[in-house]
Structure 1
Amino acid sequence: HGGAVNDVDVSSDGRLVASAGDDRSVRIWNASGAAERLLGGHSDHVKAVAFSPDATVLAAVTRDHTLTLWNPSTGRRYTTLAFTGMGTGTDVAFSPDGGTVTVMSLGGTFRWRVSDPAHPRPLPAPTGPRTSTAMAYPARGGLLVASTPAGGIAVWSTADDRLVKAFPAMQGSTQDIAATPAGDLIATAGSDHTVRLWSTRTWKGRGTLTGHTAAVGTLAFSRDGRLLASAGEDHTIVVWDVRTHRRIATLTGHSADVQGLAFTPDGTLLSAGADQRIIHWPLTATEATRRICRATASPPTAAQLDRYLPGQDTGALCPQP
C-alpha cells in the first residue's frame, strides 16, 4: 500500500485476504501473502473492509461515505453506493446470514439488503445506534452490538429494531467491538488502554484485560474462539487466552498504530498498520521453534528445548549436531 493500512479481513475459507488503505485502494492477497489483484478507483481513503460469510462479496467503505461491493475472486465491481454522513465512515459488517450489510459512521448507521449485490436495496436506518464507530454481529440471537457516543454499548434486535440492552463499557470511548465465532462473548476496546469481555447471555462483564500502554483500537478473535488479539496506538499486539485471561504473546514489529487484525482459519494472525505494513504472525510452538533454529548461529541444545518447549517433538525442527 502507498499509505496507511486501515483494516484487514480474511475470507471464511482462508483463501483470500483483503486490506484497506489510505492510498484509496483495496488489495487482495492469497493465503501465502502474494498479491492477487488491486481494487482501485475509490474516491477517498478506504477505512474498512469485510467479506460476506460465503466470501462471494467484499464490502469496502471510504472516509467520504461510499460503500463499494466487489467480487473478490474476479475483481469485478458490483456497485458503489453513496450515503449521507457528517463524519468519517468507520466500520462495515455483514449479518451472519450474509443478506444485510451495515455501515457505521460518525454521521449515522446505514443498511442495505444485498441478496443481489449488483442491486442493493436500502433498508430503514435502525432507530438505535445513530452515531457509532464500531459494531459486531454476534452469531446467534439476531443482534447488532454497537458503540455509542458516550462510550457505552447498545444491543439491538435486528428482527424488530428493538433495543435489547444498553450499558456503559467504562473504558472511555469504545474503539472497537469483536464477537466470538460462537457468539457467546463480545470484546470491547477502550481508549483507557483496556479490553473488556462481556457475556452475550447476561451482558455482564466477564473480565478486564490490561497491559496496553495506549488506546486499544482493534480486536480479533481466533476462529475457534480461544484467542483474542488486541492492538492500537502503542504499536503492540497482545494475544490473550480467552478462558484464563492470560497474556500469551506480545508482538512487536509495527512502527505506527496497528489498525486492523484478523485470524486465518489455521490460527495465524494478520495485522495491518499505519506504517503501511501487513505482518503475518504464526502463533504455533512448531513455527516459533523452526524460526528460532533458523535464526541462531547454533541450534538450541536438547536440554534447552526440553526446558522451554516441554513435550514438543523438536527433533525434526532443530536437528542436533
Structure 2
Amino acid sequence: SHLLAASYSDNQVRLWQGDGTLVRGLDGHEAEVGTLAFSPDGSYLATGSADGRLKLWSSEGTLLNSFEGHNSRLRGVAFSPEGTQVLSAGEDGLVRIWQVENEFMQPLGIHDHEVWQVRYLSPSSSLVGSFVSLSRGDIRVWNPAGELVQQFEQFALGELYSLAVHPQQDQLMAGDSRGMVYEIDLTRGEIDSWSADELSVFALTYSPDGRWLVSGGNSPPLKVWRSLAQGGYELDQTLEGHQARVWDLTFSPDGSYLTSASIDGTVRLWEWDSPSPGDVPPLALMPSEVLAGDHSPFWGLAISPEGDRILSASRSGVLNLWNRWGEQLLKLQVTESSGLTRVAWSPDGQLIAVARTDHRVDLYSPEGLLISQLRNHQGTVLTLAFSPDGRYLVSGGEDRRLVRWDIEKVRSLNGLEYGCQRVQDYLSQQSELEPLFSQCQD
C-alpha cells in the first residue's frame, strides 16, 4: 500500500497509511521539519529541516544519510526525474545538489547511540563476509550485502564499549562500563556473562588460536583469560605496567606477542615466556618493549599482516610506526588541529586507514603517503575495519552512522575524469569556463 508522509513542528516526520493508520515516526531532525518529498519511484524520502540538514530515508523509514551544507533553514527539497539526485534549497540563498547513491560508499543503518566498534567476522566463520557493529546500547550483525540480520539489545548492565570476534567460531565478546564481559553465540543467540573488572572494559581481543582473551580498560592492569574446555573462561594472569586507561589491544597475526595502547602515552609489547615442558606459557609479566610517542594519549593500534610493524594513533594527531623491536620507522603529523582515534591495516598490507576526530578517514601507504581522504561522517570517527578480502572498509562513529566504503573503487578513481563527469553540464553553460570544459572533453 502507498504511504503518506507528513512533517511536524515537533521535529518529527510521520508515515501514515491511506486510511489514517500511523505506521511510524521518523526521529532524527533537531528542529522543525518544513519540507519533504518522495523520489519518483517511491523508494526514498527526503526531508528538510530548520536544523539546516537534509535527510534521506528509505520508504520504510530507515535513515540512510544526512547531508550538511546549508547554514540556514531548508525551504524546499526535490528529486531529479531519474531519482539519482536530490536538491535542497535554503534561506542562505543556496541550492545544493546531492547524490542519492554514491558508488564509492554505502550508508548503512543508524544506531541509537554512537558506534564504538566494528569488526568483521573471521574468514573461517560460517558467516564469512559479515560484520558486527557495537554501540553503547546494542550489537548488530550485518550480512555481506550490508543488510541487518541480527540484533542484540537490552542485555547489558552498563554501556557497551568493546568488542572482539572469535577467530574460528561464530562468537563475540563484548565489554561494558560496569566491568561485565558478555559471550554471545551468534548461532544459538545465547548470551553468557561474567564480571571481569570493577571498572569499565574498553578493550578486548582474542589470541589468533582462540585460547586466550585479554581485557583492558579503566583499570590499567590487563587481564588474560584462559578458554576452558568445558566452556567459559578463567583468569590466568594480570599484566601490570600501564598507568591509565587502556583503549586498544591486539595480538600479532601469528600470536607471538600482544600489544596494548593507553592514554598514559605508551604502547607496550608483551611476549610469551619460554614454555617449560607440558605447560602453556604465560605472557611475560614485564613488557618486552615500551613504545613512547610524544606523551599524547594513544587510542588506536594495528599490526601489519606480516606481524613486523606496529601502528598507533594519538590524540595529538600523530601517526607512529615502529618495528616489533621498538625502533621507530615513521612519525607523521597527520593533523595539527584535531586528533586521531583508530587505525586499521588492509589485509594485503598496502593501505593504512586512519580515523580522525574531525569527521574524516585518511588512507595512507605504509610509507606515510596520503592516498585518499574519505568524507561522509558528521562526528568523530571512532572505529574502522577492513573486510578480510580488503575490498571494503567499514567506519562508524559519534554520528551513530555506519558507512561501508568500496576501497577498490576509491583506489582506482581517476579524479579529473570523475570530476568532469559531475560538472560538465555546468561548465558547458558558462562561457568563461570554456577552457575547463575543453579540457574535460579531451
TM-score (norm 2): 0.62
Residue 149 of structure 1 deviates from its aligned partner by: 5.0
Q: Which residue of 1 aligns with 2:205?
A: 93
Letter in 2 for 1:208: K
**Which one is further off, 257-266 or 164-173?**
164-173
The correspondence of residues 104-253 of structure 1 with structure 2, limited to 5 A, is: 104-107=216-219, 108-116=221-229, 118-129=231-242, 131=244, 132-140=246-254, 142-148=256-262, 150-158=264-272, 159-162=281-284, 163=286, 164-200=288-324, 202-212=325-335, 213-242=337-366, 244-253=367-376
* SS in structure 2 at match of 1:172: coil
Provide closer, same or farther for how the CA distance between residues 34 and 194 of structure 1 changes in structure 2, counting only shifts above 3 A: same
The C-alpha deviation readout for 1:95-147, integer Å capped at 9, x for no partner, is 12111111111113222222558422222212444752222211246211113
Count how many residue pairs are aligned between Structure 1 and Structure 2: 298
The C-alpha deviation readout for 1:219-278, integer Å capped at 9, x for no partner, is 111111211111131111001111x32110111111111111000123311101111100
Provide closer, same or farther for how the CA distance between residues 230 and 115 of structure 1 changes in structure 2, counting only shifts above 3 A: farther
Return the index of the structure with the highest Cα Rg: 2
TM-score (norm 1): 0.84
Q: Which residue of 1 aligns with 2:160?
A: 46
For residues 118 and 255 of structure 2, what CA distance do their matches in structure 1 show? 26
Contact 2:130 2:144 in 1 (8 A): yes
Letter in 2 for 1:253: N
1:278 corresponds to 2:410: no
- Identical positions, percent: 19
For residues 184 and 117 of structure 1, what CA distance do their matches in structure 2 show? 35
For residues 118 and 76 of structure 1, what CA distance do their matches in structure 2 show? 16
What's the Cα RMSD here?
A: 2.8
Residue 180 of structure 1 deviates from its aligned partner by: 1.5
For residues 66 and 144 of structure 1, what CA distance do their matches in structure 2 show? 22
Contact 1:127 1:161 in 2 (8 A): no
Of the three residues 248, 263, 282, the one matched with 2:386 is 263
**Which one is further off, 185-194 or 122-131?**
122-131
Contact 1:128 1:156 in 2 (8 A): no
Stretches of structure 2 lacking an aligned partner (at least 5 in a row):
1-110, 273-280, 426-435
Stretches of structure 1 lacking an aligned partner (at least 5 in a row):
309-319
For residues 116 and 296 of structure 1, what CA distance do their matches in structure 2 show? 59
- Larger strand proportion of the pair: 2
Contact 1:92 1:103 in 2 (8 A): yes
For residues 68 and 152 of structure 1, what CA distance do their matches in structure 2 show? 28
